[in-house]
Chains A and B, each alone.
Chain A
Amino acid sequence: MTQDTTEVVVALDGQPVRLMAFEAGLACCGVEYSAASGLLSQLAQELPIEQFAPLDVANVLVISGTITHALAPAIRALHERLGPGTRVLSFGACAATGGPYWDSYAVLDGVDRIIPVDVYVPGCPPTPQALIEGLKALRAMA
């Protein structure tokens, strides 16, 4: 599981929005999220300011990738450590429902079985455009 906190500044509807996203990359969507979020900051004409920020400043937990039963306790512990104010964004089919592995004995069929999810971004992998839509939905909730 890759763990890093990336500050991404994105322009949504012409307004810059700053997100501290702690990324829990569990499978291929982890790579896709990194690529998409990097692209977002480029689109906003600003590069990520701090690639590896401390864990306690993250306000969005991005769950990207297949969650195995073996890793589920780690995800739950991570969510507890980040605190109750943390928004959870489920990135991709596996995080939302288990995706093509939903009936595997080893795979959790959706991260919402262990932690509450605020926004589900569908896709396999989701496109950068879909991530933007998800971030807009998160901002609308703030």
Chain B
Amino acid sequence: MNSDSAHGSIALNPSDCTSCMLCVKECPDKCIHIESHPVVTDTGGARPVTISALDRFAIDFGLCIYCGICIDVCPFDALAWVARSTVPGQERQGLIHEMDQLASDWPAQEPT
């Protein structure tokens, strides 16, 4: 047993997430939930720029199989492994970690 095992849990850096939904689409058991809304800014260019502002990012660790595909597919490295194991929940809902909780584990360990 190695308590420094790299695949303990998954953390999020919300400021790097663009709500592109790649992780949601690639997750094998659909345990990632993202909600966002479009923000239109007129920068004076040819047309206004539309970006997706992140409203909700949640991982259901009751469903998660810790495969790491979400981490691999994220184009902006907004997801990363955390060495510490996900804390066991005494309630089913407690295993659904929302954005604040996922962000509190960031910065994660450096990729190896």
Chain A: residues with CB nearer than 8 A to chain B? Answer: 36, 39, 43, 93, 96-100, 102, 110, 112, 117-124, 126-130, 133-134, 137, 141
Contact = CB atoms under 8 A, between A and B. Distances in A.
Contacts of A141: 90
A2 B28 CA distance: 28
B28 A100 contact: yes
7 contacts: A97-B63, A100-B65, A102-B63, A118-B90, A123-B66, A127-B8, A128-B1
A18 B101 CA distance: 32
B61 interface: yes
A98 B92 CA distance: 12
Interface of B: 1, 3, 5, 7-8, 28-29, 60-67, 85-92, 94-95
Contact of B95 (A96, A127, A133): A96
B65 A120 contact: no
A81 B70 CA distance: 42
Contacts of A134: 88
Contact of A129 (B61, B64, B85, B95): B85
Given A43-B1, A129-B5, A130-B85, A100 B66 contact: no
Contact of A124 (B3, B60, B65): B65
Contact of B85 (A117, A119, A120, A123): A123
Nearest to B92: A112
Given A127-B8, A130-B86, A133-B88, A120 B62 contact: yes
